Amino acid sequence: MAVAPGRGRPQESTVSRRRFVQGAAALAAGAGLAANAPRAARAEGRELRFWNLFGGGDGARLQEMQAAFSAANPDIDLNAVTFAWGPPYYTKLAMSAVGGRPPAVGVLHASRLPSYAPAGLLEPLDPAVLTQYDIGPDKFLPAVWEGMQFEGQPYAIPLDIHPFIMYFNTDVCQQAGLLGPDGTLLPLQGPDAVIDAFRRAQAVTGNLGLAYETNGVAPWRLFSGLYAQLGGTILSPDGEQLTIDDAKAEQVLSFMADLTVGSKVASPNQDGPASVAMFSNASAGFHLNGGWEVTTFETEGIPFSAVPFPNVFGTNQTWADSHVFVLPKQPDDDQGRLDASLRFISFMLKDSLTWAQGGHIPSYLPVATGPEFAGLEPQSNYAAAAETPVYDPRAWFSGAAAPLQEEAGAAFGAVLNGQKSPREGISQYRAAMEDLLDTPEPI
């Protein structure tokens, strides 16, 4: 992750591992004392600086939630700033912590934690203190909470889970005989059943059975879930060793290539916007993407629903990520700021039904298991995907808008459009991962 000048003059350009361990120990000790003390002092007339990267519909929903928080907490002056999604935001947040001028609360993707927590850029969180604000570990699915950890310590609080799911056009699937009497999609299990369903949908549309991005990061998301279904891993738990199983990886890529250059139920050369458009105009019966496209299809007014990614190789695991709240490393220990930060995060989680309207699955169990979310469709139809998320492997080059996904998109995309064989695609990806493992961490 490249670095750029942040707000204020940087005190240091890097954070050593020794300094991180010492700082983390001190912070953990302080948090332990807080757990045995009365609730942190209430903030009075305090400014709370919050950085995020949400635009479009997500940005509008976030502003609605922020306005509700401000109305309910007049003693806190919320100062929310939105930056450009991707590397510019991640760089600025990192440098703000290094330079000693971070916001009180920031947003990350969970997949980005491996490049922040080890570098000492985030404050570790005490579960006992979080519990005082109703956002302790028991309020989240174990598989999701585990993704918030680094060396056994939580560093993030998840707002949502956004998995790779399968959309389907209900009219097309009805004509293709793929819906049950209740209008739900009949179960699809195994590669043959999945491809057969796409073929039947293709016979109805006269164009494609499946629309999905083959030029971009979607090939990584598809591969990640399928490879995990076979029990494969990319890196060792410490992120230092390559553990790719070539046989399993080739099996996955062979299935993916069958979709495009074998059975030809999907286009071998399609970008993200084109895949969304093809599904929107009923030129494809199925679509693979994240839940964030729900509002797009609702706006288009097309007949559709969505389900968890199918069990192709033995499980229902699927690629996923989470938007998470983090407390960037601060230059001082301010209990008033901590109280304001945790009050804000707690409020946002309890108000996350608003956030779920954008297609995300709430991570906060009281909302995710509540009757209001159960009545929200199609979100509640694919909510089970939150139980089997496959987060990106833990490495500094992993995560949203990071090299691991980009290299996978390039290597696997070449397989999907017929330029490379599955074996050649894996070989290219393996070489790229080895180069990244040999590259020193930028921070």
pLDDT tens digits, residue range 203-253?
999 999 999 999 999 999 999 999 999 999 999 988 999 999 999 999 999
Q: What is the CATH number of domain 164-319+395-437?
A: 3.40.190.10
pLDDT given at position 15: 32
Fold adopted by 17-161+321-390: D-Maltodextrin-Binding Protein; domain 2 (3.40.190)
Secondary structure (H, E, C), the chain: CCCCCCCCCCCCCCCCHHHHHHHHHHHHHHHHHHHCCCCCCCCCCEEEEEEECCCHHHHHHHHHHHHHHHHHCCCEEEEEEECCCCHHHHHHHHHHHHCCCCCCEEEEEHHHHHHCCCCCCECCCCHHHHHHCCCCHHHCCHHHHHCCEECCEECCEECEEEEEEEEEEHHHHHHCCCECCCCCECCCECHHHHHHHHHHHHHHHCCEEEECCCCCCHHHHHHHHHHHHCCCCCECCCCCCECCCHHHHHHHHHHHHHHHHHCCCECCCCCHHHHHHHHHCCCEEEEEEEHHHHHHHHHHCCCEEEEECCECCCCCCEEEECEEEECECCCCCCHHHHHHHHHHHHHHHHCHHHHHCCCCEECCHHHHCCHHHHCCCCHHHHHHHHHCEECCCCCCCCCCCCHHHHHHHHHHHHHHCCCCCHHHHHHHHHHHHHHHHCCCCCC
pLDDT given at position 6: 30
Q: Check if 17-161+321-390 and 164-319+395-437 are the same fold.
A: yes
pLDDT given at position 42: 52
| Domain spans in the chain, listed from the N-terminal domain onward | 17-161+321-390, 164-319+395-437
What is this structure's pTM?
A: 0.88
Give the mean pLDDT of the chain.
90
pLDDT tens digits, residue range 242-286?
999 999 999 999 999 999 999 999 999 999 999 999 999 999 999
Low-confidence ranges of the chain (pLDDT < 70): 1-45, 443
